[in-house]
Amino acid sequence: MIEKNTFLIATPILNGSEFIEDCIASVRGAFKNYKYIHIIVDGGSTDNTKEIINNMNNDSILFYEMPGSTMYQALNKALDLGEADYFYQLNADDFVLPETADIVLEQFQNDNDLDVVTGLCISVNVETNYCKILAPTKDHFRLDKIGVNLYVSQPSSFVRYDTIKGIGGYSEKYKGSSDTELWLRLIKNASKFQGVNKCLSIDRVHSGCRRMTPEDIKEVKDIRMNYFVSTIHPLLKLRNYFLYLIVLLTTAIRINKVLQSGIESYGSQIKKVWGVFASTKKAGLRINYFSQN
């Protein structure tokens, strides 16, 4: 019997010793008031990832070694190893923000038919001090409205566990684009999405993270073409692209309204990340919020 309002957080990892402590700390902070299991599936790390995780002495962590596994094989293994009300993928170098679980759970509790809750995400390059807001458009959860961007941010998206298990989890056909395929498959299967106008996570970009390759770009193109009944008209693509730019611009202007409060609850490790935001000028955001004590 599963306790109500439980979360399964799945983290695939490979040589992630530099970031995994911060990732785990953010999970502990965001889900401290809820029953959760954090399943970390290691694809064969050769650094001290395993030692770091074991030394953290966290009873909510299940560490599973799966040498040679891809990211999506690791995520499917996590789905098999655990069970909960809600599923959340959090990569090892990303952060979940402290009020996220409360925000997400409120949406699910208000609508029993809801399958997916997705919010805004801040993507920050910790090496160049560049950050940007990844924001969904209001009506993006239809295949004919997707256009050139999917607008579903993986680090800020939660799915009912039964929903994602019911459609077979992640496709293992693709190397780097199965999350895109998952959202499209959910939309096509009439899963109900709900966007929230709050930042739920930080996507951290750095020289060691996986980057989009020409093969990945081709994968995304092939995936989208497989789900579109017909090719989207170029004018509709252009319309959606400008709509997306408008959403990003308006979100950046009112940045203080979409950010969560209580960032100090993360502690000193995470303050370093906010320090990057406080010093950045390239993103064109109002940064006075980040510099507050």
Task: State the Cα–Cα distance between residues 123 and 58, nearest whole angstrom.
Answer: 28
pLDDT above 70 (res 251): no
Residue type, 3: E
Within 10 A of 195 (CB to CB), how many other CB atoms are there?
23
DSSP assigned state of 84: -
pLDDT above 50 (res 235): yes
Please tell me the least confidently modeled range out of 52-56, 100-104, 243-247: 243-247
Mean residue pLDDT of the chain comes to 79
CATH of domain 7-279: 3.90.550.10
pLDDT above 90 (res 175): no
Lookup: tokens for 195: 């966007």
Question: Tell me: the pLDDT tens digits for 87-141?
Answer: 999 999 998 988 999 999 999 999 999 999 999 888 877 776 666 777 766 556 7
Report the candidate in 143, 97, 147, 141 with the shortest Cα–Cα distance to residue 122.
Answer: 97
Task: State the Cα–Cα distance between residues 62 and 242, nearest whole angstrom.
Answer: 43
Lookup: tokens for 9: 């957080």
54 contacts: CB under 8 Å, gap ≥ 6: 63
Rg (CA), the chain: 18
Question: Tell me: the pLDDT tens digits for 115-130?
Answer: 999 998 888 777 766 6
> CA quadruple 136, 155, 163, 166: dihedral positive or negative?
positive
Task: State the Cα–Cα distance between residues 54 and 62, nearest whole angstrom.
Answer: 10
pLDDT above 90 (res 259): no
Per-residue model confidence (pLDDT) at position 289: 28
pLDDT above 90 (res 170): yes
Per-residue model confidence (pLDDT) at position 244: 66
pLDDT above 90 (res 238): no
Pick the more confident residue, 256 or 12. Answer: 12
Per-residue model confidence (pLDDT) at position 17: 92
Residue 276: pLDDT band (50, 70, 90) is: very low
pTM higher than the cut 0.95: no
pLDDT above 50 (res 30): yes
**3-state DSSP assignment of residue 292:** coil
Per-residue model confidence (pLDDT) at position 139: 57
Task: State the Cα–Cα distance between residues 167 and 187, nearest whole angstrom.
Answer: 11
Residue 203: pLDDT band (50, 70, 90) is: confident
- The listed range with the strongest mean pLDDT (107-121, 144-158, 259-273) is 107-121
Lookup: tokens for 216: 């990945």
Per-residue model confidence (pLDDT) at position 273: 43
Per-residue model confidence (pLDDT) at position 19: 87
pLDDT above 50 (res 60): yes
Half-sphere exposure of 278 (CA within 13 A, CB side): 12
Pick the more confident residue, 153 or 75. Answer: 75
Per-residue model confidence (pLDDT) at position 220: 81
pLDDT above 60 (res 266): no
What is the crossing angle of helices 20-30 and 268-279, to 10°? Answer: 100
> CA quadruple 211, 74, 72, 167: dihedral positive or negative?
negative
What is the crossing angle of helices 214-227 and 178-188, to 10°? Answer: 10
DSSP assigned state of 199: E
Report the candidate in 93, 129, 118, 134 with the shortest Cα–Cα distance to residue 287.
Answer: 129
Task: State the Cα–Cα distance between residues 291 and 174, nearest whole angstrom.
Answer: 41
The average pLDDT across 227-254 equals 66
